[in-house]
Amino acid sequence: MSLYEYEDHPNEECGIVGIYAPNEEVARMAFFGLFALQHRGQEAAGIAVSDGRTARVHKDMGLVTQIFNQETLAQLQGHYAIGHTRYSTTGSSALRNAQPFLLETRHGPLAVAHNGNLVNTAELRLQLLRRGVGLSSSSDSEVITMMLAGAEGETWPDRIQNTMGAWRGAFSLTILTRDGVYAVRDPWGFRPLSVGRLPSGGHAAASETGALRTLGCESIREVGPGEIVTLNNGSPNVRQALPPMPELARCVFEHVYFSRPDSFWDGRLVHQVRQRLGEELAREGAVDADVIIPVPDSSMPAAIGYSRVSGIPYNEGFTKNRYIARTFIQPTDSLRKQGIALKFNALEDNLRDKRVVMIDDSIVRGNTAGPLVKLLKDAGAKEVHVRITCPPIAHPCYMGVDMGTYDELIAHRMSVDEICDHINCDSLHFLSLEGMMRAVGRSGGYCQACFTGNYPIDISELQAKTSFETSMA
């Protein structure tokens, strides 16, 4: 059993950065950009750099701080860089699927970092193979890279634009060439991507605005759906390569769980949205209780909001080992039996003889909510009422988030009452879809497929996450 099995949250695919910074240590800047995005993917990471003549890449399995040091960064000299930190959605967790992908083309070096997931990868992969193009990984991101390598057009923006229309699904990209970096976003706007101006006069792109502020960026703006933004000499050049879809499909889980609370998504500060999620939850799922307890860390703003509306005091009930899920050393059999206690301990003095409202952001597979409830009750809580800041997740995501299959999703198999019995809590309430969108402050423009099953694009050609692994064994 992996330590990741103790986490009952959706898993994001990755974080990406792209930087143009003349006369700066661009690889070091990319490192700190990825470090600020480490929460988005912890399987692998890489940085590719170009000095205007040649391109180099360094990537490996593990965390950003495990892969890069002074020596490896010193070998990555240049003015342009892209970086990637990965959680797999298409393709297994293996070094051959680590990004960025770097190859030589007739137009010079090309490297690609991808956040998202294409639903027509099988069709595109077959087209490449029939043309005699060799593939070394099982990732849809390599398919994107190979298609760009063979694309027609006078310039790289032309080639990117000529290829984007064939990709169906979620793609936010940073692309490195010999003398430029490009930030690209799909016309649905599924995955986040923003650009900003560096203090040195260069520019950077990243999955989250918090990472751009870590690099000191100002004048931050989203890359619009369907846009290509060129980062090189002068001001960023923006090209509307594809028209935005009439109905955008931003991922609502960026607000619920994925993004850092200091990031902006769709012009809204994530921390404030999470507080409003808690406020809406308090209105919908009111209960007599003595204390509000969040499951750290993403639920803490929501617990503050719930406390503000309900009048019930907020306090901490869990201490969290924030590093346990980031180690590749597996526990012994005896430690494995400790389960959730490897990651959380209860603060008994805050819980004893209390009626507790436990706030969490989601229940996906249902493998940690029960142990957390037990932990609170074992610490002396008289009652535990669970409140979740989103609706039940009853459908898988195919747009770049690993939420599991239908068989794995507890809300697909069980009713709310059955889940309540399963996790042994005194009551359970999920925030309604309407309440969630009130907190976000939008009536549309967001993908809600994991709650409703209404996907914004056709998923009939979809392949399983590791469906291309058999031929690569």
> Contact, 384 vs 425, CB < 8 A?
yes
Burial of 10 (0-12, 13-18, 19+ CB in 10 A): buried
Which amino acid type is present at position 213?
R
Q: Which residue among the candidates 14, 397, 425, 450 is catalytic per the annotation?
A: 14
For residue 242, give both structure tokens.
């594809």
> Contact, 74 vs 25, CB < 8 A?
no
> How far, in Å, CA of 440 to CA of 269, rounded?
10
Burial of 134 (0-12, 13-18, 19+ CB in 10 A): exposed
**3-class DSSP assignment, residue 12:** strand
Measure Cα distances from 230 to 88, 160, 337 in Å. Answer: 27, 11, 51
User: Catalytic residue at 14?
Assistant: yes
For residue 129, give both structure tokens.
């193979």
Segments of 67-223 assigned E as strands: 80-86, 101-105, 108-118, 169-177, 180-185, 194-197, 203-206, 218-222
For residue 121, give both structure tokens.
């990868």
> How far, in Å, CA of 276 to CA of 98, rounded?
37
Measure Cα distances from 115 to 20, 63, 401, 451 in Å. Answer: 19, 17, 10, 22
> How far, in Å, CA of 27 to CA of 30, rounded?
5
Q: How many CA atoms are closer than 13 Å to the CA of 21, on its beta-carbon side?
A: 24
Strands 169-177 and 355-360: unpaired
> How far, in Å, CA of 358 to CA of 86, rounded?
30
> Contact, 97 vs 137, CB < 8 A?
yes
> Contact, 447 vs 255, CB < 8 A?
no
> How far, in Å, CA of 176 to CA of 57, rounded?
11
For residue 390, give both structure tokens.
């989103």
> Contact, 34 vs 62, CB < 8 A?
no
Active-site residue list: 14
